[in-house]
Homo-oligomer: A and B are copies of this chain.
Amino acid sequence: MKLINKDTDYAMQAIIYMAESKEGVVSVSEMSEKLEIPKHFLRKILQILHKKKVLKAYEGRNGGFSLAIPADKILLLDLIKIFQGPINLIECIFKKKICPDIRHCILKKKIDYLQGVISSELKSLSMASLSYRR
């Protein structure tokens, strides 16, 4: 069971790298090298973050990406939602038969509670809080 996949992991690293970088704009090539992340894969990830308005993109030579939002406003939960969908721990059981009998209701309450705890924890974690330049 995994909470954070590669996309989210790499996205975090890249965002923190950008937040810590002196230059405004950082290219995929640079991040790929420094963070040792496959270039094409990282590019795909950053393109998604751009579409989601987390990053600004600059085309052409010397182009690259920069943060569109300050790092303390980018939450781990946001990234997980973007790359792994909403937190939904138990869709398999409740997707079709929604609370068909009491046992599922009890379970559902527990799961809902758990989801709440997880969400609020992940909300409390900003990319800025993970940077050494705090």
Contact = CB atoms under 8 A, between A and B. Distances in A.
Interface of A: 1-6, 9, 16, 76, 80, 84-85, 87-93, 101-103, 106-107, 110-111, 113-114, 117-118, 121, 124-125, 129-132
Contact of A90 (B2, B93, B125): B2
Nearest to A117: B117
Instruction: Rank and list the top 6 A-B pairs by shortest CB-CB distance, nearest first.
Output: A3-B89, A103-B130, A4-B90, A102-B132, A117-B117, A114-B121
A132 B121 CA distance: 33
A15 to B, nearest CB: 11
A78 B54 CA distance: 40
Given A1-B88, A1-B89, A9-B93, 8 more contacts: A1-B85, A1-B87, A3-B114, A4-B90, A101-B132, A106-B130, A113-B121, A118-B118
18 contacts: A1-B2, A1-B80, A1-B88, A1-B89, A2-B90, A2-B91, A3-B111, A4-B89, A4-B90, A6-B92, A9-B93, A76-B107, A103-B131, A107-B125, A110-B121, A114-B117, A117-B118, A118-B118
